[in-house]
Chain A
Amino acid sequence: MAKRVMLDGNEAASEALRLARIKVVSAYPVTPQTPISEKLADYVADGSLQAKYIRVESEHTAMAAAIGAQLTGVRAATATSSIGLALMHEICGAAAGLRIPIVMPVVNRSLAAPWSLWCDHQDAMVERDQGWMQLYAENCQEVLDLILIAYRTTEQNDVLLPVMVCLDGFFLSHTTEAIMLPEQAEVDAYLPPYINKNLRLDPDDPMFINALCPTSEFSEMRYQQQIGMKNAMRALPASMAEFAAQFGRSYDLIEAYRTDDAEAVLIGLGTMCGTMKYVVDKYRAAGRKVGMVKILSYRPFPVERLCAALENVPNIGVLDRSAGLGNIGGPVCTDVRAALSTYLPGRSASSFLAGLAGRDITPGTVSRAFDLLLAGEKFSKTFWMDTNTDAALTMRTAPATSAGQKEVL
């Protein structure tokens, strides 16, 4: 029987990795992921996790060691956040290109500069096109469940893509919730032992991995990865259905919440979705027809599912938690617009931005976005919500110089 326990998001991630019977951990601490590194070290020390813990000197090596370990035929785990993920960037590409089904919790935190410890999605957005699957959790239960679902999905031989399971820093990583913790036997029934049938390291049967690839084959290797993404789009819902049968909790690529007759719908990732649902319920109780769509799987991006959910919605908005600098919409909004213009010609979405570096996305924030959408306002260029744009350009006034001049930067 599963137990109902109090866990924060980092503990839920650590429990999921332990339940997946990882055999190697190579992790480097970085706020707010650090408790995952520590928890896994505790498990190894107390014997509740039979694994080798490699104390690496950086995230770059954490991923490199995880790749090497997993190539020998075991599940190898690491986890990171923000600048740690940025330092890991190069090797993330290797994991994807070598088709290594590593599942990595990413505790979302903004990237420097300005220096910050708090949540936004820019760290993961930077990795968006690296060939990793990206799943976003709304609550601590989803952190645990999505990690198990990720293993089940990606270890299929026609998928083989590394997976980031993204959880909002502090809002999930350090917030305790009551969650159902499955028993090892239940997880074993869902998640069979890992058998590596692809690239492998075996001294008795050598293989040269990741040599220089000629131009004549590179596009084909990339195309293989795209087919993996396509297969993941089919395999992920199947794994979620099997998960529901085993554990009784249902998931899907997207969650469309009260969208059927909605006049305005907001789309989001991660914890903001809980706030959106709360506001949707309040608006519905007041007779105002709004809904929301949570994107669980951001890569692969469930374009057709998303457009089917939005087909009859006149006002669509996307709330991005990263800036997408230099464009007219945040990254999620840009993807949604591309999907809409392809499948529902003539339709677009308004771009909202909020919640950078841990700034709360409050019910007030979400309400303002709904009010603007219901009033028929369109934001083709990003609307920076909760941002003091008037003061932004005069925030730092330089002190008077010796010549008595005052410069305003």
Chain B
Amino acid sequence: MSCEDVKTYLGPCSLHFASVKTGAWRVVRPHTDSSLCVLCGICEKYCPVDAITVRGRKDEAPGLSLALDFCKGCGICANVCPKDAVKMISEREAQNG
């Protein structure tokens, strides 16, 4: 924060962002079946922490990329996917294999 004109703030606010990486909360994560995914981008729009980016719209290889530092594993992406291409898998399973 760089607000030299004010020394103290009134009311509840936080200026140090030590624990904003909400990925630490996750117990399940989305797994995408690329044979079903049509890159419609609905999951990207609904993701509450903006953790999903749809690739392949320009010159990139198509697919979804997931910001694992922030994905909380809430499952909204799996719920809104019109093609049932997103499944939630356990974090332990994902990390082990």
Chain A positions near chain B (C-beta within 8 angstroms) = 97-99, 160, 197-199, 205-211, 213, 217, 221, 224, 228
Contact = CB atoms under 8 A, between A and B. Distances in A.
The 9 tightest CB contacts between A and B, nearest first, are A208-B14, A99-B11, A99-B10, A98-B11, A213-B12, A209-B13, A197-B6, A199-B13, A207-B13
B17 A224 contact: no
Contacts of A217: 12
A183 to B, nearest CB: 32
Contact of A221 (B1, B5, B12, B15): B12
Nearest to B2: A205
Contacts of B61: none
Contacts of A205: 1-3
Contacts, number: 47
Contact of B12 (A160, A197, A211, A228): A211
Interface in B1-38: 1-3, 5-6, 9-15, 17, 20
Given A199-B9, A206-B17, A213-B12, 15 more contacts: A99-B10, A99-B11, A197-B6, A198-B9, A205-B2, A207-B1, A208-B20, A209-B11, A209-B12, A209-B13, A211-B13, A211-B14, A221-B11, A221-B12, A224-B11
Contacts of A198: 6, 9-11
B6 A208 contact: no
A217 B11 CA distance: 10
A157 to B, nearest CB: 8
Given A205-B1, A207-B1, A208-B17, A97 B12 contact: yes
Contacts of A160: 10
Contacts of A221: 11-12
A213 B5 CA distance: 25
A231 B27 CA distance: 49
A233 to B, nearest CB: 17
A97 B5 contact: no
Interface residues of B, number: 14
Contacts of B11: 97-99, 198-199, 209-210, 221, 224
Nearest to A218: B12
B17 to A, nearest CB: 7
A318 B10 CA distance: 36
Nearest to A208: B14
A217 B10 CA distance: 12
A331 to B, nearest CB: 27
A210 B17 CA distance: 14
Contacts of B15: 207-208
A209 B14 CA distance: 6
Interface in B42-76: none
Contacts of B2: 205
A228 B14 contact: no
A211 B14 CA distance: 8
Contact of A207 (B5, B10, B14): B14
A197 B8 CA distance: 10
B48 to A, nearest CB: 16
A101 to B, nearest CB: 11
Nearest to A195: B5
A210 B12 contact: yes
B64 to A, nearest CB: 25
Nearest to B3: A205
Contacts of B1: 205, 207
A228 B11 CA distance: 11
A160 B11 CA distance: 10
A228 B13 contact: no
22 contacts: A97-B11, A97-B12, A160-B10, A197-B3, A197-B5, A198-B6, A198-B10, A198-B11, A199-B9, A199-B10, A199-B13, A205-B2, A207-B13, A207-B15, A208-B15, A208-B17, A208-B20, A210-B11, A210-B13, A211-B12, A211-B14, A228-B10
Nearest to A224: B10
Contacts of A213: 12
Contacts of A224: 10-11
Nearest to B20: A208
Q: Which of B2, B10, B13 has the most CB of A within 10 A?
A: B10
Nearest to B15: A207
Nearest to B16: A208
A237 to B, nearest CB: 22
B44 to A, nearest CB: 20
A161 to B, nearest CB: 10
A205 B13 CA distance: 13
